[in-house]
Amino acid sequence: MDYEKRMLEFWETNNIFNKSECREGEPFIFYDGPPFATGLPHYGHLLTSAVKDAILRYRVMRGNKVRRRWGWDCHGLPIENIVEAELSLNTKKDIEEYGIEEFNKRARESVLHYIAQWKEIIPRFGRFVDMEHDYRTMDSAYTESIWWAFKTLYDKGLMYEGYKAMHICPRCETTLANFEVNQGYKDVTDISVTIKFPVVGEENTFFLAWTTTPWTLPGNVALAVSPELLYVRVKVGEENYILAKDRAPHVLTGEYTIINELKGKDLAGKAYTPLFDYFNADAALKNRERGWKLYMADFVTGEDGTGIVHIAPAFGEDDMELGAHEELPFIQHVGMDGRFSSTVRDFAGEPVKSKDNPMATDVLILKHLAGKNLLFAKEKVVHSYPHCWRCDTPLLNYAARSWFMKVTVMRNELIKANQTVTWIPAHIRDGRFGKWLEGVRDWAISRSRFWGAPLPVWRCDACKELKIVGSLAELGGVQIAKNNYFLMRHGEIEGNKNDQVSSDVRAKTPLTPDGAASVLLSARELAGERMDFIISSPFDRTQESARIVARELGLKPDSLIIDPRLGEINTGNFTGGTWQQYWSRYSSSEARWTEHPYGGENKTDMQKRIEEFLKDSESRYRDKRILIISHGLPLVMLRTLFEGVGAHLRTGEWHNAGGPELHRPAIDAITFPCSCGGEMRRIPEVFDCWFESGSMPFAEAHYPFENSDTFDPARGVGYPADFIAEGLDQTRGWFYGMLILGVGLFGASPYRHVIANGLILAEDGQKMSKRLKNYPDPLAVMERYGADALRFYFLSSPVVRAEDLNFSERGVAELYRKNVLRLRNVLSFYNTYANREAPPVAVQASNPVLDRWILARLSELAREVTEGLDAYELDRATKPITLFIDDLSTWYLRRSRERFKNADEKSYALATLRTVLKESSKVLAPFMPFIAEELYRAVRSEQDPESVHLSRWPELPEGERATLVPMREARALVSQALTWREREEIKIRQPLATMKVRALPLEEYQELIRDEVNDNHHTATTRGRSGARVHSERPRF
């Protein structure tokens, strides 16, 4: 599509997007949800880009000031899974052995891998968005805002650490939030079993309990019965079974005899023999005496199973609540990695539900129980089971510790806030999203992973007190020193004058006269500080400086201590060269921490010895005033440590582009003393990436630390968004996370209007799959038919109102022919007759009916599209466009061709067409920006804005609306007459002698009909209802 590329070049050369961004006007607030850049843009990305771009171009043309800033989602399991695959790492232990620092380094590289391609493809698709000043969820400023949000919510009582039954991914070894769990359900085949639990004191008598998770049976500590159900003891052969009376006919397929009936409360307290002997003999097991008995529970029903429920408190919400209420033993016989613990001797190390063979371990357990005559029945069942939304591993219901946001107490506020939102389509508000809000659960916002924003929580290893940090400044203010430290750099040496590196401790490096004088001056300034002693680097220049200070301060010789850990960084083979050469050796600031010069050390090595020195000093001395004399880099590190972690981080060497490095393991190394004398250490968890993306409205503005002129919810500045758009699945993701955080922090919904789009599927209705190759490459489609056609295909389909779309390249091709090609043909026709030299004439009110009609249609088009866009209904807004292009091309232009050749009428015909092209280009601009620009540039005057995308939205006079209905009827008559001709096999070249119609149109329309139908005469048969029946006679020759 050469014309699109020309328009793109025009926009870039003339900074059209930047000019549209700089325009003043009433702010229209937009939040752009951040995508991952771990692959190339797919149809889903392009669809949401088309939706966003159409609305935002329209708002700009309506005079609003719209900030359109791109963002990137950088953290979380999606990134970690990619890196794990690249490095062949399968478990958390593998990552820890590989090294968290190196792993996160690879994660950062992976995040940025495809950014360059995105920056080509998104603009090529015609989207106006600022990708140069993007926000990234991994940047330190973004993380600092997240810390602020966490602490603010914690102070409001909305954050807590808890131990709950949750779903975990055993491969990722982390918990998942309930809305993440909901993204991964799929039908699977599992084994359901009915197990025999031997009743204590009753020979050959068993409780029957049913489960679909046999792997939880080694952790069984109780059985639950309903206080409302009636139970029976039945005899089958030589054995007796106890189960719910109503379930007996379903469970017992053969003959049985009811011995007696029992109520649930009669069974409570009865004991049974454990299925496995791994834990019941453990004297150290808390509440052991209360285990392996029957308890009453309201959640037990007679709808399925046996009416008796197997209880394993570590593996289910109901089980855990009953366990807590009845003080049952707590047995967690499975690790976070999804494998049996060593205590489970018969199955130790086995995965309880592997991805490749989910039923394998269940089968092992059933064989074991069958060998002990404890298996009553088994069958395969198909049921919906949750899988990890990123790695597709079956999830486990598992009691785990996590940090939670107390969403349940916000339920009413969330529902109320949702009522203020206009959803497209409308049914989402009270339907899918509204119902979801009614059932909200507390949000597990922490993850036991590596690549993510760290939770700002420090816990004392002695008294367990917590310190919640809400900013870098607050972290920087943490007092870590038991002594008062003063820092001094050595005086000048000759090498300093020419930037020479001198990291050899054996070298003679005396101070220059100026250097000695400056040290003496500094010493006199320290005279009133009453130093206890001086600790110096062993280098010649630092020791000389130390002696000068000691003499001036009157310190005894034994007050001067030499410590090699304060020495200059060892630059290896760069000693003797220049610092510029040394720093140029590294490809990036990050490399200075990881790469070693030959024979030297890196900054990580130097940091370790500096930290060791400080810890040693803190343990050896207390309440001392210590002067440290060292070199530039060691002193920078010391200064940051003395001033607190914030200063340390502000050096930002490792991640210079985004500010200080806040990722693991750097943040984990930050410790400080607790008031009890213990050490405060950061907990290892990171944030759920949905918490990060949900923080986007305020975190991308680095609120509340700066940019208060553009974001301040208290003043209604920058919050809430007037418009957002993403896929329907984000009702469980970004839309949900934003609403929770927005209401929790600011008391109101973070958005006013939401467009939720559906999924784009392959043409056969299946999910698009790279493996199956069941869809065309989006870039190839754009190359064949252009971005305009693809955009319009999306925007005119039901996918913009949350319905799924089976993608058809034929559909794109059809719109290309109907819209783009027709418009380009109209433009070509205009260019053929346009006189660039002659001044344009005004459109005449007395022009022929076709001119008046097309101008009325233009006004009608603008009105209908405006109504659709104002309602955020893009399919409604696009529908009139294709109809108008058809009217313009196949009726107006075809019926007006002779006028353009007529010297007397040409200028007026061109004036009308020029007006139509210019104003319609503005209406087309939000949807088909390339062809709109080409049309506009062909007809704009020097006084007009240089781009259609800098123009104001057309506000056109109504025009002669009276022409619309008659012209519509005239065209209907023509259509029916031509249909009649075809049916009667009368060619168009053959004139009709007479055509009789009902309700003959006005005279000025009859000439159009006569020319189109090729009849010599037409008469009206009735003056009744206007309409469209055509009566004709055979032609006479």
Catalytic residue IDs? 34, 73, 690, 730, 734, 767, 770
Q: What angle do CA 84, 88, 94 make, to 5 degrees?
A: 75
Q: Are 531 and 553 in contact (CB under 8 A)?
A: yes
Question: What is the full DSSP assignment across 976-1018?
Answer: HHHHHHHHHT--TTS-BS-EEEESPPPHHHHHHHHHHHTBS-E
Cα gap 686→452, rounded to integer Å = 5
Sign of CA dihedral 1017, 1022, 1028, 1033: negative
Structure tokens at 363: 């089968």
Q: Are 314 and 332 in contact (CB under 8 A)?
A: yes
Cα gap 288→713, rounded to integer Å = 54
Cα gap 234→245, rounded to integer Å = 9
> Which stretches does DSSP call E strand in 337-374?
none
Strand partners, 744: none
Structure tokens at 991: 């004139």
Sign of CA dihedral 821, 823, 829, 834: negative
Coil/strand/helix, residue 177:
coil
Q: Are 654 and 557 in contact (CB under 8 A)?
A: no
CA distances in angstroms from 822 to 784, 815, 817, 826, listed in the order given: 16, 10, 7, 6
Q: Are strands 671-673 and 679-682 parallel, antiparallel or unpaired?
A: antiparallel
Cα gap 96→853, rounded to integer Å = 74
Residue 168 phi/psi, 5-degree rounding, is -120, 155
Cα gap 978→1001, rounded to integer Å = 17
How many other β-carbons are positioned within 10 Å of the β-carbon of residue 629? Answer: 30
Q: Count H helices and E strands in the chain, helices first.
A: 38, 35
Cα gap 38→111, rounded to integer Å = 6
Residue 318 phi/psi, 5-degree rounding, is -65, -40
Location of structure tokens 């006028």: 899
Residues composing the chain: 1037
759-772 in b/e form (b: 16+ CB < 10 A) is bbbbeeeeebeeee
Structure tokens at 970: 């005239």
How many other β-carbons are positioned within 10 Å of the β-carbon of residue 403? Answer: 23
Structure tokens at 450: 């590596």
How many other β-carbons are positioned within 10 Å of the β-carbon of residue 209? Answer: 25
Q: Are 981 and 995 in contact (CB under 8 A)?
A: no
Please name the amino acid found at residue 41: P
Structure tokens at 681: 């250490």
Question: How crowded is the C-beta side of 204, counted as CA atoms within 13 Å?
Answer: 7
Location of structure tokens 């390339």: 930
Structure tokens at 496: 């300093």
**DSSP summary character for residue 873:** -
**DSSP summary character for residue 296:** E
CA distances in angstroms from 53 to 23, 46, 66, 724, 874, listed in the order given: 17, 10, 11, 11, 11
Q: Are strands 130-136 and 69-72 parallel, antiparallel or unpaired?
A: parallel
Burial zone of 831 (CB within 10 Å; 0-12 exposed, 13-18 middle, 19+ buried): exposed
Cα gap 888→352, rounded to integer Å = 67
